[in-house]
Amino acid sequence: MVQMTDRINDVWGSRTPYGSGQTWPVRVDQFLADDLSEADVDAWVQSTCILCSTGCGCDIAVKDGRMVGVRGRETDVVNHGRLGPKGLYGSWQPLNSSDRLTRPLIRDKGRLVESSWDEAMSRVVAASRRLLDEKGPESHGFYTSGQLFLEEYYALAIMAKAGLGTPHLDGNTRLCTATAAASLKESFGADGQPGTYDDLDHCEALFCYGHNMAETQTVLWSRVLDRMVGPDRPMLVCVDPRNTRVAQAADIHLDLRPGTNLALMHGLVREVIAQGWIDETYVAERTLGFEQLADTVAAWTPERVAEVCGVDAGLVRETARIFGTTERVTSTVLQGFYQAPQATASSCQVNNLHLLRGMLGRPGCGVMQMNGQPTAQNTRECGANGDMPGFRNFANEQHVQELAELWDVDADQIPSGEPPTHALEIFELAEKGTVSLLWISATNPAVSLPELPRIRDILGKPDLFLIVQDLFLTETAEFADVVLPAAGWGEKTGTFTNADRVVHLSRQAVAPPGMARSDLDIFLDYARRMDFRTRSGRRLLDWGGPEDGFAAWQECSRGRLCDYTGLSYERLSGLTGIPWPCTAEEPEGVVRLYGDGSFPSSTAECEDYGHDLATGEPLKADQFAGVDPAGRAMLKTCPFEFDAKISADFPLLLTTGRTVYHFHTRTKTARAPKLNNAAPEGWLEISATDAATIGVQDGELCAVSSEHGSAELRARIKEIQPGVVFAPFHYGSLTREGFDVAHASTDGQRPTAANEVTQTEIDPVSKQPVYKCAAVRVARIT
Ligand code: SF4
């Protein structure tokens, strides 16, 4: 059954009910450009949707050398044929947009003018060489994405770490998924999703922690909805301060106060322990840290949780009972935890709940520390987030030596020993003048980073040489010294891995426009022009194309948790994606990790020695070795602390988030007419109580201000906690001449970016920005 239903008004499509342990029925979603039918399509080219971390398999329709539509792959393990609104409209239409970058641009007398590749890259290389001579490799910083391909991230990581030797490399995954990685490392010893989407087919209860799955991962939510209307309906628990679609569908909605996630989690853990719902054998044999965990949560009775979090004590008890007494519970975690105070500690408590019950690695018992972006997993595993490729440990000399041998460079060429530089630190170093060359690929920090007035000042610094590589002239590219036009999805070939470790191949369907090149070609070109060499005198990155990069990555992953050695482009050209680890012994990939209770946590194997979750202080190798978990999981936690920082001047808390119709900073989705028409400008959700106090009516323009900046948004009076307001973060500001003009709001130019208002505050462990709790005031604009 192929559906060409309107996914704007019918976001999740028709229900295909199924029961526990049954296979999710197929429903194929398809959208073709106006007036075209399947008979008009010249070719269907295998790909995977790249607009969220779900990773839905699809085929791109091609006609006359252009992308003209898309169809879900009915055989793919992830989506069984479905695509959501972003996948149907936002994946391919924006690539055909007439304002694509088609030539490199260079800044001349203050203006960006068209150039050639040779001239643009010569400028990049000249600046790079000059700064290496004058200041050394740490003058270079790289800020990349969660939307490139595996091969591109690995090339970038080699280029930065072995070619230049700079530690200043991170992805915008720092904003969306750093806490997923951090919590997995703290609990299990390495990044890597324990669970699988298949767990949704088996679970008896689903817990969504700060995860608005209905809007962020629409196809996954379709799967949940289909279970909810089938036999053996699972219980649904939603932890979210907002009354989201997930909350509305839930059996229990814990609408806790922003900033109090850890207090709630302490209460749930305490109750599970107090009621004796733990698997004592598993805890004793497969974990470390139980006593400290029990001590830390001991005071968190349901009544205390109720007082701090503003939820009903009976609901806390009932939630704990569901978790503690249900045989198969699946948990998912996302930005409501990751972008909130004490993010890593709160997310670790979700892992802890599963460990306490020995509930991992069995059907329906998964933890999914979700990703936001489609290829975030690859940013992390390839080391483009600053970590060491292949989940290696920057503080483990043996791991660094392995990389040195793989790349045939001296180990001391590779920055190691110290934690990698995180994104906000890279911008701070640019602010101070330490980083003088900043290369930004496929991301738009002039909209997505917190405290935008400061970010604009940094990007606009005259002594910063800024390179921006993207599909469009984004708000960030407006500041660049050199703009490099990149090929996008469907215009290049490569692999990427979704949030449940399933690897897909995305093939080139059409030629990129004009002179645009794949990000991989651009990185390889830079490496060639810089003449990076190995110890043996060979070119450091002598790959002929993406398949060479994949082969190189397979060697890097060999023997590690994220082992890709059983995969190949040929195998990935089959009916479905395949999860890692995939080896000769496990050719179909391992669907669930840790079913044997064995974790990659030994001193020799672990990716990280861990942190004090309260302070973020990293543990040293000798501290970790003293308590070597030796294959056991770690029950880590810390005390709850929160200062909302609200005051008479700023009495409300702003929380930011997503809408179903847009992705990231709308670079693509604003150029898909149906998506843009559905949500053309940002807004501010406010309770009726606060609206009455302020004197604002639904639809009126408000100024939402913090001590950092101000945005002007139309009020939407909603069912939201009094004292809390919400704004979507996707929208660019309109504060500068020419700024986001292509997407000017219907009211003309005015600041509409939620990040004008947010503050620079990070989780101490994951270094992920706290977007969910900014103290603000709201005033009606007359
Ligand atoms: S759920 Fe995500 S991956 Fe799937 S179609 Fe929608 S945006 Fe694309």
SS (HEC) of 579-592: ECCCCCCCCCCCCC
Rg of the chain over all Cα atoms, to the nearest angstrom: 25
pLDDT at 732: 85
Most informative mutation of 88, 218, 370 for ligand 1 (most atoms within 8 A of CB): 218
pLDDT at 1: 57
* Bridge partner list, 712: 703
Q: How far is the CA of 86 from the centre of ligand 1 (A)?
A: 6
Most informative mutation of 52, 71, 502, 663 for ligand 1 (most atoms within 8 A of CB): 52
Contact (Cβ atoms closer than 8 angstroms) between residue 751 and residue 680? no
Residue type, 138: E
Q: Whose CA is nearest to atom 2 of ligand 1?
A: 52
CA 729 to the chain's CA centroid:
14
Q: Whose CA is nearest to atom 6 of ligand 1?
A: 84
* Ligand 1 atom closest to the CA of 217, numbered from 1: 1
pLDDT at 3: 58
Q: How far is the CA of 119 from the centre of ligand 1 (A)?
A: 38
Select from 773, 779, 775 the least CA-distant residue to 338.
773
* Ligand 1 atom closest to the CA of 88, numbered from 1: 5
**Element of type H or E holding 330:** strand 329-333
Q: How far is the CA of 557 from the centre of ligand 1 (A)?
A: 27
Q: How far is the CA of 189 from the centre of ligand 1 (A)?
A: 30
pLDDT at 595: 96
pLDDT at 627: 86
* Ligand 1 atom closest to the CA of 79, numbered from 1: 4
Give the total residue count for the chain: 782
DSSP 653-707: EEEEE--TT--TTSTTGGGSHHHHHHS-S-EEEE-HHHHHHHT--TT-EEEEE-S
Find tokens 């698997």 and name the residue. 279
Q: How far is the CA of 32 from the centre of ligand 1 (A)?
A: 17
Contact (Cβ atoms closer than 8 angstroms) between residue 715 and residue 686? yes
Q: How far is the CA of 478 from the centre of ligand 1 (A)?
A: 29
Q: Whose CA is nearest to atom 4 of ligand 1?
A: 56
Q: Which two tokens stand for residue 461?
A: 């610094």
pLDDT at 4: 60
**Residue 76 to residue 105: CA distance in whole angstroms:** 40
Q: How far is the CA of 396 from the centre of ligand 1 (A)?
A: 37
pLDDT of 611-646, one tens digit each? 999 999 999 999 998 888 999 999 999 999 998 889
CA 253 to the chain's CA centroid:
25
* Ligand 1 atom closest to the CA of 72, numbered from 1: 5
Instruction: Verify cis geometry, omega within 30 degrees of 0, for the bond prior to 581.
Output: yes
Find tokens 């917190």 and name the residue. 450
Q: How far is the CA of 74 from the centre of ligand 1 (A)?
A: 14
* Ligand 1 atom closest to the CA of 663, numbered from 1: 7
**Residue 722 to residue 725: CA distance in whole angstroms:** 8
- The DSSP call for residue 189 is S
Q: How far is the CA of 618 from the centre of ligand 1 (A)?
A: 36
Most informative mutation of 5, 56, 506 for ligand 1 (most atoms within 8 A of CB): 56
Helix, strand or coil for residue 748?
strand
pLDDT of 580-596, one tens digit each? 999 999 999 999 999 99
**Residue 741 to residue 752: CA distance in whole angstroms:** 12
Select from 773, 757, 774, 685 the least CA-distant residue to 721.
685
Torsions phi, psi of 387, nearest 5?
-65, 170
Burial readout 207-235 (b: 16 or more C-beta within 10 A, e: otherwise): bbbbbbbbbbbbbbbbbbbbbbebeeebb
Torsions phi, psi of 433, nearest 5?
90, 5
Q: Whose CA is nearest to atom 8 of ligand 1?
A: 87
Most informative mutation of 3, 86, 334 for ligand 1 (most atoms within 8 A of CB): 86
Most informative mutation of 3, 12, 51, 73 for ligand 1 (most atoms within 8 A of CB): 51
Q: How far is CA 5 from CA 2, 9, 81, 603, in A?
A: 9, 9, 13, 53
pLDDT at 782: 83
Give the global pTM: 0.97
Helix, strand or coil for residue 466?
strand
Q: How far is the CA of 657 from the centre of ligand 1 (A)?
A: 17
Select from 99, 123, 259, 201 the least CA-distant residue to 774.
259
Residue type, 775: A
Q: How far is the CA of 52 from the centre of ligand 1 (A)?
A: 5
Residues 6+ apart with CB under 8 A from 225: 12, 15, 249
Q: Which two tokens stand for residue 630?
A: 């030796």
Q: How far is the CA of 656 from the centre of ligand 1 (A)?
A: 21
Average pLDDT, 10 consecutive residues per value, the chain (782 residues): 76 96 97 93 98 97 97 98 97 96 97 98 98 98 97 98 98 96 98 98 98 98 98 97 97 97 98 98 98 98 98 98 98 97 98 98 97 95 96 98 98 95 98 98 96 95 98 96 98 98 98 98 98 97 97 98 98 97 98 98 96 96 90 98 92 96 94 95 97 97 95 95 96 54 50 93 97 96 88
Helical spans, DSSP H, in 65-146: 85, 117-135
pLDDT at 742: 42
Q: How far is the CA of 50 from the centre of ligand 1 (A)?
A: 7
Q: CB within 6 Å of ligand 1 — which residues?
A: 49, 51-52, 54-56, 79, 83-84, 86-87, 217-219
Contact (Cβ atoms closer than 8 angstroms) between residue 408 and residue 552? no
pLDDT at 628: 87
Q: How far is the CA of 507 from the centre of ligand 1 (A)?
A: 17
Most informative mutation of 219, 221, 225, 669 for ligand 1 (most atoms within 8 A of CB): 219
* Ligand 1 atom closest to the CA of 220, numbered from 1: 1
* Ligand 1 atom closest to the CA of 58, numbered from 1: 5
pLDDT at 736: 40
Q: How far is the CA of 741 from the centre of ligand 1 (A)?
A: 27
pLDDT at 660: 95
